[in-house]
Chain A
């Protein structure tokens, strides 16, 4: 079945530690790929996106993500986490023949320990 999977429901990291959030998709063709962040009670903010080209994409707030076609993955990384990064993170895909329809994973909640 076509899907977007974020295997980790909740992750806790120490402030200053590195972070990797996983995202896998299951679609026949390479979709457009996105990472969003949602702070409590807020809407979603786009962190970064991948359409084509360089498989390592840089985003806002020091985040980056790497597209790996062989693994159908688009993992989000940050070298050093700040307490303000605590939030929920959503991976999403868009299919070229379903313009406008973003398909979201279940989300990963990130907690940051001092």
Chain B
């Protein structure tokens, strides 16, 4: 039973490029959450999605960031025109609707470096 999978594990981008981060939730999980961890800080909530719906995006920066969780395939966090301040670890978590949204299982993260 595979856990939450994220790829790539490491991503290097130059300023102005686009970054696409993928998250495949655990089998049977239809809720996905994205968190960002800046250096020396705790995780900060970004967005909560269910299949084809954004439930809570209160933590998403207003510009350049978007997220989706299509009916088929992984959830994608997209960062357009990256800047150095976007360098961080991005974690995805998933949960099972049967056990609710508080039982979140985390992936290993994608570490984004912006040059």
Contact = CB atoms under 8 A, between A and B. Distances in A.
Contacts of B96: none
A44 B104 CA distance: 10
A102 B104 contact: yes
Contacts, number: 64
B84 interface: no
A69 B95 CA distance: 28
A49 B56 CA distance: 22
Instruction: Categorize the interface residue count of chain A.
Output: 20 to 34
Contacts of B91: 43-44
A57 interface: no
A19 interface: no
B101 interface: yes
Interface string A1-40: 0001000000000000000000000000000101010000
Interface of B: 4, 31, 33, 35, 41-45, 48, 55-56, 58-59, 91, 93, 95, 100-109
11 contacts: A43-B108, A45-B106, A90-B43, A99-B100, A101-B33, A101-B59, A102-B35, A102-B45, A104-B42, A107-B41, A107-B42
